[in-house]
Amino acid sequence: MEIEAKLDLTQFLQEFRSFLARPKPLAMEGDTNLHFTFIQELMEVSFKEPPQVADLTRQLKHIQKQGTLSLEEIYEFVKVLGYLRYLGSLRLQGRLGEWIASIDIPAELEELVGYFDEEGRLRSEVDERLVSLERALERVKGEMGERLRALLGSSKLQSYLVDRQIHYINGEEALLVRGGFNHVLKATVVGRSSGGFFYVVPEALRKLKEQEAKLLSQLEEIHYEIAKAISKRFHKWYRFLEFANRSFDRFDHYQARVRFAKARELIFIKPKEDRRIHLIDFAHPAIAHPKPVTIDFTKKILLITGVNAGGKTMLLKSILAAAYLAKYLIPMRCSPKSQIGRFKEIVPIIEDPQNVKNDISTFAGRMLEFSRLFQKGGALVGVDEIELGTDSDEAASLFKVILEELMKRDIKIAITTHHKRLAALMASHDEVELVAAMYDEERGVPTYEFLQGIIGKSYAFETARRYGIPSSIVQRAIQEYGADQAKLSELIERGSQLERELKEKREALERELQEVQKTRALLDGERHAFHEELRREKARLHAIYAEAIEEAKQAARAKEERQIHRHLTKAARKVKEAKLQSKEPEPIQVGDSVKYRKTRAKVLAIKGKEATIEAEGLRLRVPVSELKRVGEIKQKPKQTRVRVAAPQSLSVKLDLHGLRVDEALEKTDRFLSDALLAGFDEVLIFHGVGTGRLARAVREFLKAHPRVQSFHDAPPNMGGMGATIVRL
């Protein structure tokens, strides 16, 4: 594919495809998360690789139309069925095991697996006629061999034999002889050698050849009969064969990735929805001895600047290649802590788009490629040398506006550039991340390392010297460039760096302010809670003193001495109760959130009077007495209120005469509910005597009712056995 070639992944993915049982696209239909789960579970399993299988799309259509397949085509289906049966025998666990267990091969198809040997030949045991025919063929071939060996040993023929070998010409056993052989041997010429000799089939073998041809014809007829019968069976199970073929392809995707990962010691990265790309120690597979790349591409645009031959394009291709491999769950070499987003499309704008045939210049081609981006969404775009083909100052202004528009869409873009103007224009944007390719000035070579947050120097003059341009020419170029331009370039670099530093400081101050505001809100909450508790305590004390005073007044009004003492005793007890209730602080425990001086922390362990706490990533041992528990604000659970409407008509009697059992029970249920809501203790139900069926049903219902305490027959004057009194 073109994108694989642009990202230098062709050879790597060709090697991956060699692990597949048959060619197929990289994409897997369905849920990527589920595919990832299956792959991870398969990594823990030992299994044999699947056999190489042909594409069966055409054969499936042939089966659907009730056509007859050849035995070779049937064997391709048998290989698929045989491997699926093998997977079922592994008794796999987890979700992968559940999926494999769901592939239940019908007995009629499973039987066919035993029809063929490992070479794909039909076993003679399938049909008794095959056994006899194959024995007859072996006998005829044996006789032919014996006659040929006899001729090779004949003294009359020795002078005409070129060699003593049996040659196979057009599927026939032949001898290689010189001219004049017809004086001693009756034979048919079937070919000529490069040396002018003759390949001949002796007449003595003709009859045996005819017997062999007849036997082979009979074998073909039987093979066709068997193929026709199996094809008919395939038509019956067409839907399952289609399902089995898809299931084999799906497992083929999984097993190829697992075996490839194990063979090259690679890992899988599951793409995430947040679109962040955080590569840690990623090694591009096209580089023999790569220097691992670590880059955090969180924002919408990554602008890569710096030295020529410093690895800017390599970094760009690494970002796009990692996203491409993760998109299709192809294993790669990087840290498992890496994070890669999920993208609908990956668009590399890397090569020179100039096209002489279509009369498209470099810059025009670039504009055409960029115009297509405005119709895309959910894409990851990589642009190498963005100002290629036009004036860099004009291009910087143009691309600044284009990039700002693209940032409003769901597009993530990584860009490399030699020129600082575009980087300077874009540096202050919140969604732009700057990355500089680093250069070792002492050794005069690029380091292939990258520093985020700054604009990189181009080191054009240093690179020219390194690649053999004479120093005198480079020095003249430096003079032409001028000190003012060099200073301007340095100011652009420094100004961009200062702007980024200022932005980082502002963000840090904003974070600090947010923390202060949170602390203030917490303190306000604690102060409000304290005042509320104080108000409640004051009200409690007032109530107690009021009760004590009332008891004292009653003592004053009492006439008997015993009553006076009793009221005074109560008043004294009330006064004693009127003390401030101070809650003893609960002891600090492991896991509590606490405050140590001005820092929030968590208690990890307590030993004696000392506690081990974790505060701001540090572990400290401090006295327990200096810790204060930080209370968490808990929301009171909302109380659910249920309102039940009172029954509109109330009665202590229910008449069920003339109703079916189900209607009677439904009416009884409603009647008892209304009686309970009305507060009745006892009710009367008339059901009649009749066959007794309705009475039995009503009493069984009353036995099971949770609010019925008891029931019994009504007195004769209230209905007798035809009515029941129910106690609720």
- Edge-first strand order for the sheet with 379-383 is 345-349, 379-383, 411-416, 301-306, 432-440, 445-452
Does 232 score more than 90 pLDDT? yes
Whether the Cβ atoms of residue 396 and residue 426 lie closer than 8 Å to each other: no
pLDDT at 636: 42
Q: Reduced to 3 DSSP states, what percent helix, strand and coil does the chain have, rounded to the nearest 5?
A: 50, 15, 35
Whole-number Å distance between alpha carbons of 587 and 701: 56
Does 571 score more than 70 pLDDT? no
pLDDT at 269: 96
pLDDT at 289: 83
Least confidently predicted of 190-194, 289-293, 632-636:
632-636
Closest CA to 324 of 259, 362, 364, 379: 379
Q: Tokens 């070639």, residue?
A: 5
pLDDT at 97: 94
Taking residues 350-376, report their average pLDDT. 70
Taking residues 593-615, report their average pLDDT. 85
Taking residues 642-646, report their average pLDDT. 45
Average pLDDT, the chain: 82
Q: How confident is the model at residue 599 (pLDDT cuts 50, 70, 90)?
A: confident
Instruction: Between 451 and 83, name the one with better pLDDT.
Output: 83
pLDDT at 556: 65
Q: Tokens 């041997």, residue?
A: 185
pLDDT at 317: 93
What is the percent of the chain where pLDDT is above 90? Answer: 34
Using alpha carbons, list the distances in angstroms from residue 210 to 138, 170, 217, 235, 368: 14, 15, 11, 37, 72
Whole-number Å distance between alpha carbons of 590 and 89: 50
Taking residues 468-480, report their average pLDDT. 70
Interstrand relation of 627-629 and 653-655 (parallel, antiparallel or unpaired): unpaired
pLDDT at 78: 96
Does 230 score more than 90 pLDDT? yes
Q: How confident is the model at residue 358 (pLDDT cuts 50, 70, 90)?
A: very low
Whole-number Å distance between alpha carbons of 431 and 302: 9
Closest CA to 668 of 683, 681, 679, 649: 683
pLDDT digits (tens, 9 = 90+) for 482-541: 554 544 455 445 555 555 566 677 778 888 888 888 778 777 777 777 778 888 877 877
pLDDT at 122: 92
Does 637 score more than 70 pLDDT? no
Least confidently predicted of 451-455, 474-478, 490-494, 544-548:
490-494
pLDDT digits (tens, 9 = 90+) for 114-162: 999 988 999 988 998 999 999 999 999 888 888 888 888 888 888 899 8
How long is the chain? 728
pLDDT digits (tens, 9 = 90+) for 303-354: 888 766 557 888 899 999 999 999 999 999 999 999 999 999 999 988 765 5
Instruction: Between 628 and 65, name the one with better pLDDT.
Output: 65
Taking residues 636-648, report their average pLDDT. 46
Does 585 score more than 70 pLDDT? no
pLDDT at 445: 56
DSSP labels, 552-610: HHHHHH--SHHHHHHHHHHHHHHHHH-S---PPPPPP-TT-EEEETTEEEEEEEEETTE
Whether the Cβ atoms of residue 97 and residue 251 lie closer than 8 Å to each other: no
pLDDT at 95: 94
The amino acid sitting at 61 is K
Burial class (CB in 10 A: 0-12, 13-18, 19+), 536: exposed
Q: Which two tokens stand for residue 623?
A: 């006295």
Taking residues 671-687, report their average pLDDT. 79
Beta bridge partners of 416: 304
pLDDT at 491: 45
Does 59 score more than 50 pLDDT? yes
pLDDT at 277: 95
Q: How confident is the model at residue 39 (pLDDT cuts 50, 70, 90)?
A: very high
pLDDT at 198: 93
Using alpha carbons, list the distances in angstroms from residue 394 to 195, 226, 397: 77, 76, 5
* CA 297 to centroid of chain Cα atoms: 21
Whole-number Å distance between alpha carbons of 220 and 211: 14
What is the percent of the chain where pLDDT is above 70? Answer: 81
pLDDT digits (tens, 9 = 90+) for 406-437: 888 889 999 988 777 777 777 778 888 888 77
Instruction: Between 319 and 450, name the one with better pLDDT.
Output: 319
pLDDT at 463: 59
Q: How confident is the model at residue 356 (pLDDT cuts 50, 70, 90)?
A: very low
Q: Which three-class secondary structure state does DSSP give residue 56?
A: coil
pLDDT digits (tens, 9 = 90+) for 172-211: 888 899 988 888 888 888 899 988 899 988 888 888 888 8
Q: Which two tokens stand for residue 149?
A: 């060996």
Interstrand relation of 379-383 and 411-416 (parallel, antiparallel or unpaired): parallel
Q: How confident is the model at residue 684 (pLDDT cuts 50, 70, 90)?
A: confident
Does 638 score more than 70 pLDDT? no
Whole-number Å distance between alpha carbons of 126 and 227: 12
Does 245 score more than 80 pLDDT? yes
